[in-house]
Amino acid sequence: MYSKHFEHVDKLIKALENDGAFLVVEDRNKKVNIMTIGWATVGMVWGKPIMTVFVRPVRYTHELIENADTFSVCVPSAGKLKEQLVFCGTSSGRSVDKVKNSGLTMVKGQSKETLIIEECKLFYECHILEKNAIDPNTLDAGVIKSYYPNRDFHTVYYGEIKHSHIRE
């Protein structure tokens, strides 16, 4: 039943390993931000298809996703939108309107509550079911040393994948 959501996970993983993918958040006040991500997971939790995304509390996206019900992950075609991925990964939405300045086009997804990026190829539209802050007391010391030397631990958001689709 949910296998359709996992058909193209290989493309998502390749993107995350290379240039990244876009996390799009629109909060309940209609503020929108785009953030480049390199970490995400997809699988079954609670009998539902789930995507988890990781957002550090210092990010503007964190402020928005805390006041949101949904998010989308938009994956460009391999090797495409590199400049936009760099821009959305190095600029802060607090000081720059990334939607306006990235040249990316926001459109409604299959779920009318979710925005997606028109120029991308693969889309995951997710409804947030749970979030939790990474607990440094239970996290492997090697992971802390490698990824959290400043102790700026992520919040993990669990989104039920409501729609996934690819443009051929």
Q: Model confidence over 129-158: pLDDT tens digits?
A: 999 999 999 999 999 999 999 999 999 999
The domains of the chain are located at 3-166
Comparing CA positions, the residue from 113, 121, 97 lying closest to residue 159 is 113
Indicate the SS3 state at residue 32.
Answer: strand
Query: Is the CATH number 2.30.110.10 carried by domain 3-166?
Result: yes
Q: Model confidence over 59-106: pLDDT tens digits?
A: 999 999 999 999 999 999 999 999 999 999 999 999 999 999 999 999
Its pTM stands at: 0.95
Residue 137: other Cβ atoms inside 10 A: 4
